[in-house]
Structure 1
Amino acid sequence: MPRRIKYQGGSGPFGGGVRARVDSDLGGEAYRLTVGPDGAEIVGGDEAGIFWGRQTLRQLLGPDSFRRAPIGDPADVPYVIIEDRPRFGWRGFMLDVARHFMPKDGVLRYVDLLAAHKLNVLHLHLTDDQGWRVEIKRHPRLTEVGAWRRRSRRGWGRLPDWDERPHGGFYTQDDLREIVAYAAERHITVVPEIDIPGHSQAAIAAYPELGNADVVDVAAVEVKTDWGVSPNVLNAAESTLRFYEGVLTEILEIFPGTFVHLGGDECLKDQWRRSPAAQARIRELGVADEYGLQSWIIRHFDRWLAERGRRLAGWDEILEGGLAEGATVTSWRSYEAGIAAALAGHDVVMCPRQTVYLDYRQSGDAGEPVPVGKITTLEDVYRFDVVPPGLAGTPHEARVLGAQANMWTEAAETPQRVDYQTFPRLVAFAEAVWSEERDFESFKRRMDAAHYARLDALGVAYRPPEGPRPWDSRTGAPGQPR
């Protein structure tokens, strides 16, 4: 249902309070907001709908309504009736806290920013080669060792350019329970990601027995200090499966949502090809090759999660070697992988790097900090079509749960840099996943008229529409433009 706005005529200072009630006939997350001289009434299809209606009311109340305490006199509001509902049920944002750790307060702040933009999924990328960020009590070395690296690559590039300061941090289980509860109050689901079998060098540094000891000196493996894909992947031993079952048992106790993301991407197969143990495992399992071995691992955890009432999600490489039966695909490399998964009867979350990777540079300006990837402008993100032509209008379209924008942090070492890369493009993304009918010129006018001021009130260090400021750049830090 497209948003319907009916102007009742007139406006006035808002001071009449807010009345709210649920009418399930409206449908999940839908709302009807009525504003008049006596205040506002919000009717929601459920509690989430009421909450999203409140966010729309905040917009009507002006930028100062986004401050943490009221200032000035009550704002004038137009007397309107607005009926609205989201196009998709999965409106997500992936935050990579593994490459550069974001303290808990920063994550809670991002929960508020997602809520203000009616986004309802926070995908936390908690583990990678460069850091393990979640406390696992039965395996304490994952954070004692795996949460810290001795130095970090400065920017991208092949020439040595290092920040020699150690970097690290992790969330205690109670920290994560707090984040989950805080998000739930704002009708946001937190999806944890524990990466397997690739992107696991930090785990192997902490517990060398997880690595391929017959071809690698696993005792010498450290938490990865550089970016890029690590050759150090998990072995396929039963003991490694039991180890990660223990990890996931604790993850399920922290995160009550349906989905657990297990990565499954960029798993280099060289060590498995050279490993007698891995080759024996391939023969034992009766799979065709190393791709089949990865698929077998993913299928194992797909079944393990399903037995506990959960669902596995993974990056689109989990299609290789045969897709796990209950898996949901987060399609990052292209639209084509998402189309293939949907046609095969699997749910899909679209997040193609060509359009919604927010770490990608925003212009060709030399002042862009650490230029990464292709140029992806505000308009590019706004014009993102969640349902690709290969699925639109077919029965398989229903397999598209929605989409998410991904913010990888190899080149974003501070919360300010994350803000710069994320906003205002996340605003454009939020409208793309909420509304089917869109008009970029209208969006630009609304950004200029009000929404940049809202971001200012929220304290967001966004990229200005006129381009990077002198202090936004990182002079001398090499990039990886495409």
Structure 2
Amino acid sequence: MGEPRRRLLRLLGVTAALTLLVAPVRAVAQEQRDAVVPVTVPALANWTAEQGSYVYGKSTRLVADSPAERRVADTLAGDLRAAGHGIVPVVGGPARNGDIVIDVQASRGSLGAEGYRLDSGRRLSVTGATETGAFYGTRTVLQLLARGDRVPAGRTVDVPRYKERGVGVCACYIHITLPWLENLVREMAYDKLNQLLVELKVKSDTHPEANTWGYYTKDEIRRLVALGARYHVEIIPEINSPGHMDPWIENRPDLQLTDSDGNKQTARLDVTRQAAFDYYTSLMDEYAQVFTAKSWHMGADEYMLGSDYSKYPQMLQYAREKYGSNATPQDAYVDFINRVQAYAAGKGKRLRIWNDGLTGANTVPVAAGTTVEHWLDVAVKPSRLIAQGYPLMNAAYSLYLIRGGFHSDTGSLYDQSWDPRSFDGEKVASSKGITGAKISLWPDNGRGETENEVAVGLWPALRHIAQATWGDPHPDATYAEFTARGTTVGHAPGWRDLAQLPVAQGAYTFQAGGVSFDAEVSRTADGYAALKTSEGCLEVTGGRLTLNVPLQPGVELDRAACDTSNTLQRWQLEPVAGGYRLVNAITQMAVDVTDDGRLVQYPPDQHTPAVWQLTAH
């Protein structure tokens, strides 16, 4: 054997040895990559890694047999298509490699009403004891596919810690657009939130005198409720009473509480009058035509805000006549709550109220089973309410986002490992008796921010409340790492970017109804249009103000000095057949043209909005 050949063999031996050494290192590295818990929101509580991965491809099918499984699969198929994963057929079994299997097994009771098991390997399998549990498993599937078509092999069992995981929205004075609410429902479901509590006005057929703007039509609510049902988000309505009733009784002075000086209180319902109770319950009946939720929220907060019971002697008189000489004025208020509770129960619904009216000054207890949403620190603490047996939801003020005002400090809450046991004023030792938690959106300064601006601050808070109510409130070492989860999974499939201007910026002539004007169209930072004419920027101003917003129909538009901070100068250009509707971003009323050529705002169901043709200069 020559020396060159011996050198070659020695070299081959070294190479073989190196190969033997490197191969295990590569295998370990691959195992370490596979062992990393996949990124989801909420974070998976556990993950058992296995070798290999699931690959989503052109031959993937959704396998579902029972009606419940097919409903889940049909929704997932639509979401996969919306997320850019193509058209996936829904078929019956048996499954083959590459398929996604939806399985509802009532015998899997350990998964509870909303938990699921996910297995990733040659196929993806989602198992729930209920349809809802299987649905939540598909939300995880969508998030796992948000980074590509490959999912690491492994398995998880994922069960929520709290039953109620919610968002509260007050669309009670300022109309919030349906597309914005639909985005919210999709995002909530994507993050496994299950309750949307909405304080809003449905346009009434029974009480047309109450139809001041901004209401929703019954068809709009049916559309929203149907979306909620498909995405397993229960949409719970609220008509706040007996306080904050001004959207309903401003034209009904006969139902308004009158003080000892004879002054009518336009926001307070007179709970001592049977007519007031009958009016309120008739509204409940009308809401039942469009809402399918098994709960009813009556608010019951801030009834005596800025006043006290001593100004209303009829309250004490009513309470003593009904409950005896030891009764207090607050007993009349609790009596109204209990009468509403009994009425709701008779309709198969559970009652919900805020906590601030429960100050302990009453001798009549709130009816058992009433869910109390705790938002304000008052004399009766959360621990006492729990001890009294009331289901308690954490709706702490620290979780609020207020237009033009306070915004929840989500980063600080995350760093504190906030969880639903932490109420404003008290942290209770156990989660027993706590139903969950919600974030709340309020329009205290209705023109303080646009919907698009609110959305920017909402999404991090949304993901935080989802994490804190579903699983470990602090899954990542830092808040920056936690927010990166949201970036990774992105928005829900079907989410619409509402900050897109449908026309190019530039100069246009607007024409409708025999009227024309020239305006420079520019995109505002939050995605609306500013319209600058030779006389100033188009703006809604004047008329009756509600929460600092001109919500009176028929108000004429004005031209004012252009101000980028003035939200009333921001407009939506809504594409319709033949042109565009011009809708104010805050009032949500559309521009119409009067017979004498004036531009005025009206709700779109009261006056057919003008259709504007735009001609570029």
TM-score bin (small chain): 0.7 to 0.9
For the pair 1:191 / 2:259, whether they are aligned, the reply is no
Deviation per residue, 1:124-168 (Å, 9 max, x gap)? 012xxxxxx21232112222x3x3xxxxxxxxxxxxxxxxxxxxx
Secondary structure in 2 aligned to 1:81? strand
- Structure 1 residues 13 and 2: alpha-carbon distance in aligned structure 2, compared to 1, 3 A threshold: closer
Which stretch shifts more, 268-277 or 48-57? 268-277
Structure 2 counterparts to residues 62-461 of structure 1, below 5 A? 62=146, 75-126=149-200, 133-143=201-211, 145=212, 147=213, 169-213=214-258, 215-216=261-262, 218=264, 232-268=268-304, 270=307, 273-275=310-312, 277-286=314-323, 288-320=327-359, 321=362, 322-334=365-377, 337-354=381-398, 356-359=399-402, 370-372=404-406, 376-381=409-414, 383-388=417-422, 391-393=428-430, 397-411=431-445, 413-436=449-472, 438-441=474-477, 444-448=480-484, 451=487, 454-455=490-491, 458=495
For the residues of structure 1 that align with 2:414 and 2:294, how far apart are their CA atoms?
Answer: 28
For the residues of structure 1 that align with 2:202 and 2:175, how far apart are their CA atoms?
Answer: 11
Letter in 1 for 2:274: E
Deviation of 1:240 (Å)? 0.6
Deviation of 1:276 (Å)? 5.4
For the residues of structure 1 that align with 2:222 and 2:414, how far apart are their CA atoms?
Answer: 32
Deviation per residue, 1:371-416 (Å, 9 max, x gap)? 426x6232415722212486434xxx43211111111122454221
Letter in 2 for 1:108: E
For the residues of structure 2 that align with 1:195 and 1:449, how far apart are their CA atoms?
Answer: 36
For the residues of structure 2 that align with 1:216 and 1:204, how far apart are their CA atoms?
Answer: 17
- Structure 1 residues 279 and 306: alpha-carbon distance in aligned structure 2, compared to 1, 3 A threshold: same
Match of 2:100 in 1: 18
- Structure 1 residues 445 and 212: alpha-carbon distance in aligned structure 2, compared to 1, 3 A threshold: closer
Kept after mapping to 2: 8 A contact 1:212/1:233: yes
TM-score normalized by the length of structure 2: 0.60
TM-score normalized by the length of structure 1: 0.76
- Structure 1 residues 443 and 5: alpha-carbon distance in aligned structure 2, compared to 1, 3 A threshold: farther
Match of 1:56 in 2: 140
Deviation per residue, 1:96-117 (Å, 9 max, x gap)? 1113211222212211111111
Deviation per residue, 1:67-99 (Å, 9 max, x gap)? xxxxxxx62322221210111110111011113
Kept after mapping to 2: 8 A contact 1:313/1:328: yes
Kept after mapping to 1: 8 A contact 2:113/2:130: yes
Deviation of 1:437 (Å)? 5.9
For the residues of structure 2 that align with 1:431 and 1:271, how far apart are their CA atoms?
Answer: 40
Kept after mapping to 2: 8 A contact 1:264/1:298: yes
Q: Which runs of 5 or more structure 1 residues have no equivalent in the other structure? A: 64-73, 127-132, 148-168, 222-229, 360-368, 463-469, 478-482
Deviation of 1:271 (Å)? 7.5
Higher relative contact order at CA 8 Å, sep ≥6: structure 1 or structure 2?
1
Letter in 2 for 1:98: C
Match of 1:6 in 2: 48
Which stretch shifts more, 412-421 or 273-282? 273-282
For the residues of structure 2 that align with 1:441 and 1:99, how far apart are their CA atoms?
Answer: 41
Kept after mapping to 1: 8 A contact 2:410/2:460: no
- Structure 1 residues 248 and 332: alpha-carbon distance in aligned structure 2, compared to 1, 3 A threshold: same
**Number of equivalences:** 406
Deviation per residue, 1:166-209 (Å, 9 max, x gap)? xxx21122322222221011111111111111111222213221
For the residues of structure 2 that align with 1:239 and 1:22, how far apart are their CA atoms?
Answer: 49
Letter in 1 for 2:410: T
Kept after mapping to 2: 8 A contact 1:379/1:440: no
Secondary structure in 2 aligned to 1:92? strand
Kept after mapping to 1: 8 A contact 2:243/2:304: yes
- Amino-acid identity (%): 24
For the residues of structure 2 that align with 1:443 and 1:3, how far apart are their CA atoms?
Answer: 18
For the residues of structure 2 that align with 1:51 and 1:253, how far apart are their CA atoms?
Answer: 27
For the residues of structure 1 that align with 2:209 and 2:149, how far apart are their CA atoms?
Answer: 54
Kept after mapping to 1: 8 A contact 2:414/2:479: no
For the residues of structure 2 that align with 1:379 and 1:13, how far apart are their CA atoms?
Answer: 39
Q: CA RMSD in A?
A: 3.1
Secondary structure in 1 aligned to 2:215? coil
For the residues of structure 1 that align with 2:51 and 2:412, how far apart are their CA atoms?
Answer: 33
Deviation of 1:442 (Å)? 6.0
Deviation of 1:459 (Å)? 5.3
